[in-house]
């Protein structure tokens, strides 16, 4: 498949725009937001200079899939999906906390543990765990949302003590995160996958409901292992076969970048960009059990603009 041009950014005359790491969000002024999932990719809280063709379509499609599969356990903001890169959602007041749920010792949690840490966000971690090992029970490890730089790990008690959220809102969101992770684990297992960890974001709707916003169980927000061979690899101390963007982080680390001061952000070579795109498509097909059918328009921004003009 010949890859289309990436949708790196949009400049649409739809209303006030907020540009996140991956999404361009337009306030339509009527209680709705237009969330355009671009092909930008971030790692270590930095947006890389190279965009990944089809990535936005994969993320938007996967989120639509998961919002539908989890709507009965946690209400969400989705109103419609008028374009492969676009979701129309209810405008909410976003909670300033990311709710990260971890079922296995991987990624950031493993790096903390390997460095001697036996507690993460107030959650104790037992001695003797191996990388990728299943935790005794899933844990919630919240993080503050940084406008710039790195998000910060924070405990539930500190969230309340610092006045970031009240106890009732925190408990409600934590409960929804737990229910979402349980459902995600069950659905992933149907496809031969283990949901390792993920993050959820919530917002308060005008009617007072707490809704899931942003994205759910995508490769940008989640990590999956293949269930087949998991135990054997764990016993042998071998890396797990996984579906996530962790391999992008690993490539960056191999090239001397972890987002720390003084480190130069490397460029992704074209061959690696193609590999990343293919991995995103692989994850879509593996998670959903459906063939990915991309829109290969040579002018993705024009296509997005046309779709939004029809609903604005």
Query: Can you tell me the mean pLDDT for 186-197?
Result: 96
pLDDT at 2 over 90: no
Tell me how far apart the alpha carbons of residues 111 and 132 are, in angstroms, rounded to a whole number.
11
Q: Could you state, in order of their start, the residue ranges of all structural domains in the chain?
A: 94-243
Asked which of 1-15, 24-38, 190-204, 226-240 is least confident by mean pLDDT, the reply is: 1-15
Query: Can you tell me the mean pLDDT for 41-69?
Result: 95
- What confidence tier does 244 reach under pLDDT thresholds 50, 70, 90? confident
Query: Can you tell me the mean pLDDT for 4-28?
Result: 95
Q: Report pLDDT for 312.
A: 62
pLDDT tens column, 128-154: 999 999 999 999 999 998 655 567 999
Taking each helix axis from N to C end, the angle separating 55-70 and 167-190, rounded to the nearest 10 degrees, works out to: 100
Provide the CA 46 distance to its chain's centre, in angstroms: 14
pLDDT at 243 over 90: no
CA nearest to 62, candidates 214, 272, 174:
214
Number of H helices, E strands in the chain: 8, 18
Q: Report pLDDT for 149.
A: 53
Classified as helix, coil or strand, 4 is: coil
Alpha helices for the chain (secondary structure H)? 55-70, 107-114, 156-161, 167-190, 230-236, 246-254, 270-288, 300-311
How far is the CA of 83 from the CAs of 11, 139, 302, 312, in angstroms?
16, 35, 11, 13
Query: Given 3.40.50.1820, 3.30.470.20, 2.60.120.330, 3.30.70.260, which CATH number is that of 94-243?
Result: 3.30.470.20
Query: Can you tell me the mean pLDDT for 164-174?
Result: 98
Tell me how far apart the alpha carbons of residues 5 and 106 are, in angstroms, rounded to a whole number.
33
Q: Report pLDDT for 182.
A: 98
Backbone φ/ψ region at 180: left (φ over 0), alpha (ψ -120 to 50), beta: alpha
CB atoms within 10 A of CB 18: 11
- What confidence tier does 247 reach under pLDDT thresholds 50, 70, 90? confident
Q: Report pLDDT for 286.
A: 92
Q: Report pLDDT for 151.
A: 76
pLDDT tens column, 76-134: 999 999 999 999 999 999 999 999 999 999 999 999 999 999 999 999 999 999 999 99
How far is the CA of 10 from the CAs of 18, 43, 248, in angstroms?
11, 21, 24
CA nearest to 285, candidates 58, 23, 110:
58
Query: Can you tell me the mean pLDDT for 270-282?
Result: 94
Are 64 and 48 a contacting pair, CB within 8 Å?
Answer: no
């Amino acid at each position: 498949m010949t890859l289309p041009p990436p949708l790196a950014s949009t400049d649409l005359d739809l209303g006030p725009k907020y540009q996140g790491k991956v999404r361009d969000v337009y306030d339509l002024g009527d209680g709705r937001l237009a969330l355009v999932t671009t092909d930008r990719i971030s790692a270590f809280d930095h947006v890389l200079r190279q965009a990944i063709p089809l990535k936005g379509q994969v993320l938007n499609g996967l989120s639509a899939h998961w919002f539908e599969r989890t709507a009965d356990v946690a209400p969400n903001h989705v109103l419609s999906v008028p374009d492969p890169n676009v979701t129309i959602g209810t405008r909410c007041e976003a909670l300033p906390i990311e709710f990260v749920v971890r079922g296995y010792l991987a990624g950031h949690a493993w790096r903390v543990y390997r460095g001697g840490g036996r507690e993460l966000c107030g959650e104790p971690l037992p001695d003797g765990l191996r990388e990728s090992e299943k935790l005794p029970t899933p844990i919630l490890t919240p993080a503050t949302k940084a406008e710039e730089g790195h998000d910060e790990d924070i405990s539930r008690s500190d969230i309340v003590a610092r006045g970031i959220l009240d106890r009732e809102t925190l408990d409600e969101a934590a409960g929804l995160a737990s229910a979402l992770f349980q459902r995600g684990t069950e659905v992933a297992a149907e496809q031969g996958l283990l949901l390792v960890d993920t993050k959820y974001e919530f917002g308060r709707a005008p009617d007072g409901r707490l809704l899931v916003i942003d994205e759910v169980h995508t490769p940008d927000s989640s990590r999956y292992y293949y269930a087949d061979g998991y135990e054997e690899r764990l016993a042998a101390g071998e890396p797990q076969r996984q579906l996530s963007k962790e391999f992008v982080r690993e490539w960056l680390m191999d090239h001397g970048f972890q987002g720390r001061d003084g480190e130069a952000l490397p460029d992704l070579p074209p061959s690696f960009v193609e590999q990343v795109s293919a991995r995103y498509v692989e994850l879509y097909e593996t998670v959903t059990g459906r063939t990915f059918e991309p829109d290969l328009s040579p002018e993705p921004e024009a296509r997005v603009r046309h779709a939004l003009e029809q609903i604005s």
